[in-house]
Structure 1
Amino acid sequence: MNTLLWVLVGILVYSLAAKALQIRGYLPDSVRLQGPIATIHTKRGRALLTRLAKPKRFWRAWSNVGVGVALVIMVGMFVLLLFQAISILRNPPAPSAVNQPENFLVVPGVNDFLPLSVAPEIVFGLLVGLVVHEGGHGLLCRVEDIDIDSMGAVFLAFIPVGAFVEPDEESQSNANRGARTRMFAAGVTNNFVLTAIAFALLFGPVVGAVGVAPGVAVDGAYAGSPASAAGIDNGDRITAIEGTNVTTERDLDNALLAAEDRTVSVEVDGERTVQVERSLVAVGSVDGNPANLTVEDDPIGITAVNGTAVQTRGELQSALEDAGDFARVETTAGTRTIPVGAYVTRAAPDGPIANASGDDLANTSFLIAGIDGERITSSTDLARTLDGYDDGDRVSVRVYADGAFQSYDVRLGETPRDGNAFVGVDLFPGTSGLLVTDFGVRTYPAATYLELLGGSGGGGEGSMFPGLTDSPFALVYVALVLPLASIVLGIPNFPGFTPAVTDFYVIQGPLAPLGDGVFIFANVLFWTAWVNLQLGLFNCIPGYPLDGGRILRMGAEAVVSRLPVSDSERLVQTITTSIGLTMLASLILMIFGPQLLS
């Protein structure tokens, strides 16, 4: 049974138990049930809202701005959802982690992108968002002299999923159309303002107080790798190899290649030293690699190339350079004879090598085996070789595709990331489709995350995403997609400054006395902003019973009232129902379409 099915079973059991308690009279009158949805009603707080509503002119001006923002976003949400639904119908995407139904729920532990470790921050952000949202509705009710019957919270089983203000129906119907529109828009306006405040604090003083700790951050060690055997694991920082300080992944790679002995001395966290006895292992593989090897739970050992024993990557590189076009590689899974090169998973359309080859290399994988006569044995080799060229240089690129070698005259392009020359391909790291290491750690891009949040990465290398965070709107976009970074940006998902990664950062500046409290504050701000932005956008969908649907009805009534029609109420109902059903169908297609249509 998958996670979503367990959740549905739990909700069913809860619904039956809650209904039994209600039938037997154990629930107070303030609690009302509709299936798994429970609402708790109270009349407290109405006097406070009446006092806060006294500067009515200010609140009306505030809400008029909110109405304009909400209308723009409503149109955008309608177009986005409709376009997405049409795209799914025309070309159903293959099911993936990002379009699984459970990943549309903002529930930590159920949503694959929201780990349980950030559940407190997400729940806090949700509760604050619900309070300011419904508080906005209640405040504008009193501004517009609309009476309030009750207020309260909405629960899905035990999870708070909403709050509400219940206006008096007669009082609401007596209010003019503008007053009701401002009241409906007040909730999303408050969510967007709270998002802006949280992001401003996060991108400003909070992230500004965070710096990157020295060394290369370790996200973990591959099972069965030399680093794992030496006790190097998640949360460690590698600060030196054989006495040579390392601050970036390239520093680490260069230091390991330069080390001649099989056993290397590794300084961890600047405090302890461990001895790592290196051996060559393949810890990853791409489908269809020339060796026809698949790395699953355990790594595959590599012991010799063309009869020459190899124990380090430096020895492997030398042996492959001397091997010719093909190498006989001895592994713990058997001996393979393979072509040698950097494995290309895709050539970029209209990229340098795609333009040079015509249709020869389109929609196919291949190896790059040489640049201008220089042997290329791995993706690292290719990157280092291209560092010696400039944008616009013409080079001969030797590739292995469809069982044969072929050379192409390629005019190099310029990568936007760092301005270096590139051939326009996506690479699988390693050699010939195998990720080979003599060390075995997965690095954590601590500096990149800090940079994407508007801080100073200080990683010692050029930015991975230059220009992406040059404006406040770009920073908001990046923060919105960071929990999905593996899908959108090609780096691991970022759940916040969780305890597992705080050792990769240091607190500095005026906020230094707060210590780790800065990380807690940063997580609260990040998830509060993230959740409130989601709440505001979702409620702007023009479909009943969302705020966008109610604003749509007010707008439809205003337009239809000026038309020469005999039954204006029916026309308004037709417009709002049609748009609402279209939005509902679009949402269902987004959630379930990839599973049902692919």
Structure 2
Amino acid sequence: MAGMGATIGRIADRVAAVEDRLNDHLPPSLKVGLGVLYWFSTRKSARFDAFADRPLVRRWSDLAILTLFALQVGTLALVTVAAGNALGREPTALNDPVNTVAIPGVNDFMPLASTPYIALALVVATVVHEGGHALACRAEGVPIEEWGVALLGGVVPLAGYVLPADALDEAGARTRMRVFALGVQHNLVVTLLTGAVLLSPLTASPTEAFLTYFGWAATGGTAPTAAAVAALGPLTNVCFWLVLLNANVGLLNALPVGPLDGGRVLSESLAALGERTGYAVPSRLRRTTLFATSSFVVGLLVVAILGPYL
């Protein structure tokens, strides 16, 4: 076992050395790490900072905290119902563990023809989410050290990201709650806006789009083809995936699970309660509470996916 650990360590060191050499030759706005190319910037925006300095932004961030807690309750209810319904049912494509991997061509609900729409929607969802974190950071006076887009293999867009300064770790509980919550609220706003477009006469009906991509699993039909995707039209495809992925990114991050925004807000809410009441909640109690809720939620998710196989 020790020999295996040493081997893994040597491989990791070699990979790191190769990445260091690559980064030495890349332009200043690019870097690589673990097979991911990061296109980033450290530039600041005076206009963005001026907008973030408006008092309305803090009120918007406070609303985001309430929104996140409401989403936590709703999402937990949905996951609990899904887990209960999954038990005792026959497996379908909806329960196939392979289809939990959001990779076009691997996931039956994501044909290769949908790749451009999924990639665009994923980038928008993550940029909007991280942009919310950045806006709340600047409203609270927390510097942003770096922001950019991560590209898998240097080609496939994975996500936008924002890297706050260490000052966020030293900020008060209320500040941290605002920062963690605002990304979720921005995903919700994009979901509602693009959902309105999807309901308009400009696109095919949402029902048609849903049945094309997912309805076949319930009706016994066939997985979507390139022709079926093309028949929906570009605007319908873009709006459908913008709604779906923004809703998923927002709801997933709202769950009270460990490193997710919902888990962080839950932990910080305990600290904020201590600040308000004058009783400092022990860090051990915060960790125990977060571990218990994380374990419970993850367990529900596993049952919801694998319930028919249990």
What TM bracket, shorter-length normalisation?
0.7 to 0.9
Take 2:226 and 2:270, find their aligned partners in 1: how far apart are those partners?
Answer: 42
Structure 1 unmatched ranges of 5 or more:
1-15, 208-449, 454-474, 503-518
Residue 123 of structure 1: CA displacement?
0.5
2:200 is paired with a residue of what secondary structure?
A: helix
Q: Tell me which residue corresponds to 2:290.
A: 576
Alignment of 1:330-349 (within 5 A): none
Take 1:527 and 1:17, find their aligned partners in 2: how far apart are those partners?
Answer: 39
Q: Tell me which residue corresponds to 1:72.
A: 70
Name the structure, 1 or 2, with higher relative contact order (CA <8 Å, separation 6+): 2
Q: Tell me which residue corresponds to 1:161.
A: 158
Q: Tell me which residue corresponds to 2:43.
A: 44
Residue 137 of structure 1: CA displacement?
0.6
Take 2:280 and 2:124, find their aligned partners in 1: how far apart are those partners?
Answer: 46
Residue 195 of structure 1: CA displacement?
1.4
Residue 548 of structure 1: CA displacement?
1.0
Say whether residues 1:28 and 2:23 are aligned partners: yes
**Matched pairs, number:** 294
The aligned amino acid for 1:486 is: W
Does structure 2 conserve the Cα–Cα contact (< 8 Å) formed by 1:118 and 1:498? no
Take 2:141 and 2:117, find their aligned partners in 1: how far apart are those partners?
Answer: 36
Residue 48 of structure 1: CA displacement?
5.2
Take 2:283 and 2:201, find their aligned partners in 1: how far apart are those partners?
Answer: 53
Alignment of 1:107-126 (within 5 A): 107-126=103-122
Take 1:74 and 1:39, find their aligned partners in 2: how far apart are those partners?
Answer: 31
Take 2:209 and 2:261, find their aligned partners in 1: how far apart are those partners?
Answer: 25
Deviation digits for residues 30-54 of structure 1 (CA, Å, limit 9, x no counterpart)? 64635x6665653135555324324
Q: Tell me which residue corresponds to 2:192.
A: 196
Deviation digits for residues 98-142 of structure 1 (CA, Å, limit 9, x no counterpart)? 111121122211110111111101101111111111111111110
Does structure 2 conserve the Cα–Cα contact (< 8 Å) formed by 1:556 and 1:575? no
Alignment of 1:99-178 (within 5 A): 99-155=95-151, 159-169=156-166, 171-178=167-174
2:110 is paired with a residue of what secondary structure?
A: coil
Q: Tell me which residue corresponds to 1:261.
A: none
Task: Sort the Cα spacing of 1:582 and 1:204 in 2 relative to 1 into closer, same or farther, 3 A.
Answer: same
Deviation digits for residues 421-453 of structure 1 (CA, Å, limit 9, x no counterpart)? xxxxxxxxxxxxxxxxxxxxxxxxxxxxx5x53
What TM-score, normalized by structure 2, do the two folds share? 0.79
Q: Percent identity?
A: 30
Residue 159 of structure 1: CA displacement?
4.0
RMSD (CA atoms) = 3.4
Say whether residues 1:206 and 2:205 are aligned partners: no
Deviation digits for residues 402-425 of structure 1 (CA, Å, limit 9, x no counterpart)? xxxxxxxxxxxxxxxxxxxxxxxx
Q: Tell me which residue corresponds to 2:271.
A: 557
Structure with higher helix content: 2
Q: Tell me which residue corresponds to 2:4.
A: none
Does structure 1 conserve the Cα–Cα contact (< 8 Å) formed by 2:113 and 2:226? no
Deviation digits for residues 319-364 of structure 1 (CA, Å, limit 9, x no counterpart)? xxxxxxxxxxxxxxxxxxxxxxxxxxxxxxxxxxxxxxxxxxxxxx
Take 2:13 and 2:305, find their aligned partners in 1: how far apart are those partners?
Answer: 29
Q: Tell me which residue corresponds to 1:222.
A: none
Task: Sort the Cα spacing of 1:120 and 1:191 in 2 relative to 1 into closer, same or farther, 3 A.
Answer: same
Q: Tell me which residue corresponds to 1:243.
A: none
Take 1:198 and 1:496, find their aligned partners in 2: how far apart are those partners?
Answer: 23
Take 2:236 and 2:81, find their aligned partners in 1: how far apart are those partners?
Answer: 35
Task: Sort the Cα spacing of 1:499 and 1:178 in 2 relative to 1 into closer, same or farther, 3 A.
Answer: closer
2:141 is paired with a residue of what secondary structure?
A: coil
Structure with higher strand content: 1
Deviation digits for residues 461-514 of structure 1 (CA, Å, limit 9, x no counterpart)? xxxxxxxxxxxxxx7xx8667621123466666689856536xxxxxxxxxxxx
2:160 is paired with a residue of what secondary structure?
A: strand
Residue 28 of structure 1: CA displacement?
1.5
Q: 2:247 aligns with which of 533, 548, 563?
A: 533
The aligned amino acid for 2:21 is: Y
Residue 593 of structure 1: CA displacement?
5.0
Task: Sort the Cα spacing of 1:97 and 1:17 in 2 relative to 1 into closer, same or farther, 3 A.
Answer: farther
Task: Sort the Cα spacing of 1:70 and 1:569 in 2 relative to 1 into closer, same or farther, 3 A.
Answer: same
Take 2:124 and 2:308, find their aligned partners in 1: how far apart are those partners?
Answer: 33
Task: Sort the Cα spacing of 1:37 and 1:92 in 2 relative to 1 into closer, same or farther, 3 A.
Answer: farther
Take 2:226 and 2:277, find their aligned partners in 1: how far apart are those partners?
Answer: 53
The aligned amino acid for 2:182 is: A
Task: Sort the Cα spacing of 1:562 and 1:163 in 2 relative to 1 into closer, same or farther, 3 A.
Answer: same
Take 2:118 and 2:131, find their aligned partners in 1: how far apart are those partners?
Answer: 19
Residue 84 of structure 1: CA displacement?
4.1
Task: Sort the Cα spacing of 1:587 and 1:40 in 2 relative to 1 into closer, same or farther, 3 A.
Answer: farther
Take 2:211 and 2:11, find their aligned partners in 1: how far apart are those partners?
Answer: 38
Structure 2 unmatched ranges of 5 or more:
1-9, 25-29
Take 2:142 and 2:209, find their aligned partners in 1: how far apart are those partners?
Answer: 38
Does structure 1 conserve the Cα–Cα contact (< 8 Å) formed by 2:229 and 2:237? no
Deviation digits for residues 501-557 of structure 1 (CA, Å, limit 9, x no counterpart)? 36xxxxxxxxxxxxxxxx322222222222211111111111121111111112222
Who wins on radius of gyration, i.e. which is larger? 1
Q: Tell me which residue corresponds to 1:418.
A: none
The aligned amino acid for 1:27 is: L
1:204 is paired with a residue of what secondary structure?
A: coil
Deviation digits for residues 376-402 of structure 1 (CA, Å, limit 9, x no counterpart)? xxxxxxxxxxxxxxxxxxxxxxxxxxx
Q: Tell me which residue corresponds to 1:485.
A: 215
1:166 is paired with a residue of what secondary structure?
A: strand
The aligned amino acid for 1:186 is: L
Does structure 1 conserve the Cα–Cα contact (< 8 Å) formed by 2:216 and 2:223? yes
Does structure 1 conserve the Cα–Cα contact (< 8 Å) formed by 2:112 and 2:226? no
